[in-house]
Amino acid sequence: MTAATASVTAPRPGGGPGTRSSERSAGTAPRTRSALVEQLLEHRPSVLVAALGTTFGVALLSVSHIVEQLIASDPAVAASGTVSTMLDLVASVFVGLALYVGAIVTANTFTTVVAGRTPTIALMRLLGSSARDQRRSVAREGLLVGVAGALIGIVVGTLLVVVAVTVLVARGTLPDLDYAYVSVGGLVPAVAVVLTTVAAAWIGSRRVLQVTPLQATGVVQEEPVGSRPRRVLRTVFAALLVVGGGLLLLAGVVIGLADAIGVLIAFVGGVLSFSGVVVGAHTVMPAMLAGVGRLFGGGQVARLAAENAVRQPERSTRATIGIVIGVTLVTTMSVALETLRTFIGRLSEDPVYAAELDTMFTTTLLIMAGLVGFSAVIAAVGMVNDMSLSVLQRRRELGLLRAVGSTVGQIRGMILLEAAQMAVTAIVVGVVLGTVYGWAGAQALLGSANQGLLIAPTLPLPLLVGLALTAAVLAGVAALVPARRATSVTPVEALAAR
């Protein structure tokens, strides 16, 4: 009988730590953190993405503002108005790109968060909350995330520029002027981040509408795998863009054989067709992922990894498309500039001039790559986050795999291969697209100068080495935390988890 008494008074197994922590804080304050902080913690990756975007935008516009002040302080330079407009325009393009990639990442994160919350949402629906109310509350969280990220970004971005300018002034690189760091225009990126984050949260919360109250009653069915919503309109639109843009690109190259004006036509064609690729990525990326997955071999681990990478086609697409965008743009610029450099280098025989040319091209390329690369960093954050969340939501399945005889090493290998598959696919697709665009641009520009002949594209070796390293690092980082998480739970715990 003592046993029965003990089991009545004792807390349930696993209740131990919780009990202790509530005892500890009982004397001081109520245990719960404020709901606000709680929500922000759950959306940590999205806050990070919003903060990164804002930091980049605020810093870039602030730098361009400083450059304008420098130019204005120099009476020798006239027409500073034109220069500053140009600078702002270029900066806006890069910031816009970062925000676009950030929005894709955030939409994906919200989709995944909502998927994880299905039981709670179902319970709320069961208790009488409407789907629209539920969705609106998710969108409100998006607003919160956007504002928090924007505030962090304003502070960090401004601080970075202040520190950089102070250092440069101290070293005598910059004149000691009374710089104004903050301008009204410089805060535009922050506002844009808030807006895009809310929009992304709204798009990402679409899934709330599919949650039925019945899902709260515990009849949990295995989620269909590989199903994807049909988006006929979107696919048709994407196909039109790709085909139309591709034809324009081709026309640009052909016209370029006679006249350098072809490069402008090719540029428009490139922008249109690449937009088509991004819009229609959901039809292509899953197949690409599966194809790369098959290259990893037919072993069970590789096979599971390959299936996992495409189990949520929409999500995998969005997790990788940001990286595709970044890599494509960097490759386009590299290939175009490198082809241009090779061509011009062949024309001139003066070694001093060639060296100057080299420096100029390299500097241009590094700056451009850095600016575009920032979007790729945001995209990488998204991929890492996607991996973490998807592993977290697969705990039961991982427990089952452990129970039927997968070793810890096999689970780790599976997650690493999954990450590698995404990283490699995104980067290879980016390199292929970038090479086509870069070559087309260079060809259209130089075709007429080359007596209407074709020019072979030059792929810079450092770029390829750099991208291969990036793929390895990205896959490693994206797999690190999820793999540890996946193997730290015992099969029993994982199987018990709902």
Site string for another protein, 3-42 (x = CB under 8 A): xx-xx--xxxxxxx--x-----------------------
Segment lying near another protein (by CB under 8 A), choices 128-136, 249-257, 403-411, 465-473? 403-411
Considering the complex, what minimum distance in angstroms separates the CB of residue 39 from another protein? Answer: 29
Nearer to another protein, 88 or 418 (CB): 418
Give, for 96, the enclosing helix (H) or strand (E). helix 80-116
Q: Does residue 307 belong to the site contacting another protein (CB under 8 A)?
A: yes
Q: How far apart are CA 288 and CA 22, in angstroms?
A: 50
Choice from 225, 243, 354, 472 touching another protein (CB under 8 A): 225
Choice from 178, 222, 349, 350 touching another protein (CB under 8 A): 222
Burial 358-378 (b: 16+ CB within 10 A, else e): eeebeeebeebbebbbbbbbb
Considering the complex, what minimum distance in angstroms separates the CB of residue 405 from another protein? Answer: 2
Interface size with another protein, residues (CB under 8 A):
43
319, 394 contact by CB (below 8 A): no
Kindly state the tokens that stand for 94: 């890069």
DSSP H stretches of helix in 117-130: 118-126
Q: Does residue 316 belong to the site contacting another protein (CB under 8 A)?
A: no
**% helix, strand, coil for the chain, step of 5:** 80, 0, 20
Choice from 41, 191, 220, 355 touching another protein (CB under 8 A): 220
Nearer to another protein, 227 or 363 (CB): 227
Nearer to another protein, 7 or 28 (CB): 7
Kindly state the tokens that stand for 263: 């490069």
Considering the complex, what minimum distance in angstroms separates the CB of residue 295 from another protein? Answer: 18
Closest C-alpha to 228, from 208, 207, 203: 207
Q: Is the dihedral of CA 108, 114, 115, 117 positive or negative?
A: positive
Q: Dmax of the chain from CA atoms?
A: 101
Segment lying near another protein (by CB under 8 A), choices 169-177, 207-215, 250-258, 307-315? 307-315
Q: How far is CA 24 from the centre of its chain?
A: 41
Site string for another protein, 357-396 (x = CB under 8 A): ---------------------------------------x
Q: How far apart are CA 248 and CA 272, in angstroms?
A: 9
Considering the complex, what minimum distance in angstroms separates the CB of residue 477 from another protein? Answer: 24
Considering the complex, what minimum distance in angstroms separates the CB of residue 410 from another protein? Answer: 7
Q: How far apart are CA 18 and CA 11, in angstroms?
A: 10
Look up tokens 């039981």; give the residue.
119
Nearer to another protein, 3 or 76 (CB): 3
Kindly state the tokens that stand for 396: 């039961």
Helix axes 80-116, 351-392, angle to 10 degrees: 20
Segment lying near another protein (by CB under 8 A), choices 54-62, 76-84, 222-230, 459-467? 222-230
Q: Does residue 308 belong to the site contacting another protein (CB under 8 A)?
A: yes
381, 44 contact by CB (below 8 A): no
Site residues (CB under 8 A) for another protein, limited to 226-245: 226
Segment lying near another protein (by CB under 8 A), choices 265-273, 303-311, 317-325, 380-388? 303-311
Binding site for another protein (CB under 8 A): 3-4, 6-7, 10-16, 19, 220-226, 299-300, 303-304, 307-308, 311, 396-397, 400-410, 490-492, 495
